[in-house]
Structure 1
């Protein structure tokens, strides 16, 4: 079950990153909208409603979750860049996935939203200096201060993590061949 939940492993917190690593992670974030589109576009309606693991979200819910999460991340970046170590607002991602737009909105809405959100987010990320990447926010659930440079790494991981949920499902079900 661990490999179904964490197909690329768990994110390792507390590491530091070079600017070259951060640039690579930004590229991972930048690539996600087209990667997700390419993997989900050929799927049928019933395939899109298949959970990526027992008890997990459907492909559709997973894509909607990525958009919800990355919208929150974008706002958190802007807060950290314009305020001094702001407290960020956590949200109940599992409950968001159960709302009407998390289950029933057309997938294309989230794919389009993700495309344009990532264009703005990546533009912002690419503009950041090393000093700006050291700006922080405080997460009240984890009771931890996060530097933006680590958050870039976390969302690059998050991008690959959920892409691989869908990719591995497609491989297991024989919907795609590698």
Structure 2
């Protein structure tokens, strides 16, 4: 392993929240979110059960765990969008991603089940995202773990990055095949 751990953890780099947010940028991010289910399904469609156990870095999640994490993370994000659109600056509920990744549904369930969730969530999420006007894009929620207020337009960028981040993890796992 010649790559530093930080590069293995963030193969496309960390999310840069300082990116200028334009209408075109938002549309580009929404397209990433819209196309993610198909790209993810393609990335794992021919993998064996053994390959699904490969991790993207030492002590990292397996490909199977990454897929299940994306389903859970994106469901949570969709709900956070709905909360921000229907309540005044709600405080969202964080969750322990690492602990979730150790549960039986991550370890013993086929990633195909999470692909179904991702397909449905992203279909609805994309419709919602495309419908947002400028006022709605500026709606916010409070993330207590980060002690920060997030505008929905920022979160769209974060989740476009999140999609590409985990697709890169899967590609990396296939190249390095660390055993889980």
Q: Same fold (TM over 0.5)?
A: yes
Q: Which residue in 2 is equivalent to 1:61?
A: 65
Structure 2 spans left out of the alignment, 5+ residues: none
TM-score where L is the length of structure 2: 0.93
In structure 2, the partner of 1:81 is: 85
CA contact (8 A) 1:135 1:148 kept: yes
Query: 1:46-125 maps to which residues of 2 (within 5 A)?
Result: 46-125=50-129
Cα deviations across residues 27-57 of structure 1 (Å, max 9, x unaligned)?
0011111111101010110000111110000
The answer to whether the aligner puts 1:161 opposite 2:161 as a matched pair is no
Give the equivalent residue in structure 1 for 2:154: 150
**Number of positions where the alignment pairs a residue of Structure 1 with one of Structure 2:** 173
Using structure 1 for the length normalisation, give the TM-score: 0.94
Instruction: Note the alpha carbon deviations across 1:57-110, whole angstroms, 9 max, x for none.
Output: 000000000110000000000000000110000000000011111211111100
In the aligned structure 2, how far is the partner of 1:146 from the partner of 1:14?
Answer: 13
Cα deviation 1:93-134 (Å, max 9, x = unaligned): 000011111211111100111011100000100000111100
Q: After TM superposition, where is structure 1 displaced by more than 3 Å over at least 4 residues in a row?
A: none
> Whole-Å Cα distance in 1 between the matches of residues 160 and 176 of structure 2?
24
Q: Distance between the aligned counterparts of 2:174 and 2:110, measured in 1?
A: 20
- Aligned-partner SS, 2:60: coil
Q: CA RMSD in A?
A: 1.1
